[in-house]
Structures are given as structure tokens and as C-alpha cells.
Amino acid sequence: MRIVAHANNKGGVGKTQVTLGNASAARARGERVLVVDVDGQANSTSALIPDDYGEVDGGTAAILSGTSNIAQEVISSAWEGVDLLPASVHVTNFERETSPGAEFRLRRALREQVVVDTYDWIFIDCPPAVGRVTLAALVAADDVIIVTEPSKDSTDGVINLLETIDVVREFYSPDLNIAGVALNKMQVQGKEINFRAEELRTRMGESMMLETIPLRSVIADSRGAGIPIHDMPGVKATTIASIFDGYLDHITNGAPTNE
């Protein structure tokens, strides 16, 4: 089982998109997937939760607060073969949590034997902030994918996240691995876009995912239809799906770094 967090301090860079894309890729391979939404905006939850489910009453918030267990909170998602630990706005209550060891609650839950025996991949969708919720997600993870776009604010968010990763390694999880940097929403032209992309490649080296994710309407179409990108028809969807296939290969067999 591999636990992969998707993070950046900056919002709007596409963490949910990459989380769902990786979940789609693993699902297409017949592997068992759990998506864990720890973002109070609950974007992964809204994409995956069945239409008739109703309001989320517990989910990740209950795990982080220590008031429930993982077996009670995981649900079947709208994607066959993918389960969901859903989020609600109550996840943000954890930012005020001061109990000793609270940051380990998600880690312990995701390493319970019933979880280890059930899933091949756990993909965590983090909030757009480096606070206690993101800390808990990074403490829980084996790997982190830094999701960014080619803009100054987003690349600054990468630097802030790297500092947090260093803290997690020093005090909580020395083996936390940067599995890769996913450069999202790439457009064909633009000096600023090219400059920021090259800046990231220089800074992150082999951690950069080889394939960037282009800005394509088929990604939004997949989300709107509630369909995994691997199940969407057309050449453009196939191209995007192959990028996420490559991401899974990179995580598993690529050139991860602890630098």
C-alpha cells in the first residue's frame, strides 16, 4: 500500500485534479483505491460522493478529532472500485487542535490492518494551506506530490511547502518522500509561463514529473460528468489519462528524492 499526499500552499493549482487523475489511473489498472479528502472545501468529496448520499456528518473530520474510526467513515464512491473518506467544512476545526499527538491520528487510521489489507493506493487531497491539517496529511503519507502551476504565487507555494516537508522529516516522519512535482495548467505560449516552468525544473531537478498537464477542457468535462478521465471518450482524454499513468509509474519506479 502506498499513501500519497497532493499538496501546495497555493489554492487553485489543481490538487484535486491530480488526486482524481491518479485515482483514475490506479483504478484503470484494477488496483484498489481510497481517496482521502482533508480539504474543508471538499472538492474531491463533491466529485466522488454518490448523488444520493446526503450531507457528510463525519468523515475525515471525525478521524482527525479522534471521535470515530476508519471503518465507520469510509464510503463507496460514485466511481466503481474507488472508496472515499469524505470531507466537510468541519475538517478545519483541526486547525485549532492542541492535544498532544493529534497530528498522528490520520496516520494511525490509514495504517490500520483493515486498510492495509484493502487498498493498494491511498491518495490524499490536501487543503491550500500549510497548517495542522496539511501537517497531519504529510505525517500520514509515504510520498508527497507537489502540485503547482507556472506562476509566481504557485512556485512560492512550492518553496513554503518544501520548508514544511523538512519539518515533517525532522520531527515526525524522516522517510517522507517527494515523489514528484506535477506542473499543471500548462499553456503553449507565454514568457512568464516558460520562465516559471524552467525555474521549477532548475530547483527540483529529477523530482519534476516528465509530463506536464496541459490546460484542457476535457479535464473539466470529466469532472462535470462525474466520470474518471480514463473512461472519457476521445483522443484528448486518452492523452491526459496517459499522463496520470506516467505519474503512477514515476511514483513507483521513478527517481524519488529526499533532498
Q: Please give the Cα distance from 65 to 61 (Å, whole number).
A: 6
pLDDT by residue for the chain (259 residues), tens only, comes to 999 999 988 777 889 999 999 999 999 999 999 999 999 999 999 999 998 887 888 999 999 999 999 999 999 999 999 999 999 999 999 999 999 999 999 999 999 999 999 999 999 999 998 899 999 999 999 999 999 887 777 677 788 888 999 999 999 999 999 998 888 776 656 666 677 777 777 666 666 665 778 778 888 889 888 899 999 999 999 999 999 999 999 888 854 444 4
Is the full-model pTM beyond 0.85?
yes
Domains of the chain: 2-253 (3.40.50.300)
Q: Three-class SS string for 22-38?
A: HHHHHHHCCCCEEEEEC
Edge-first strand order for the sheet with 121-125 is 75-76, 82-85, 33-37, 121-125, 2-7, 143-148, 177-183
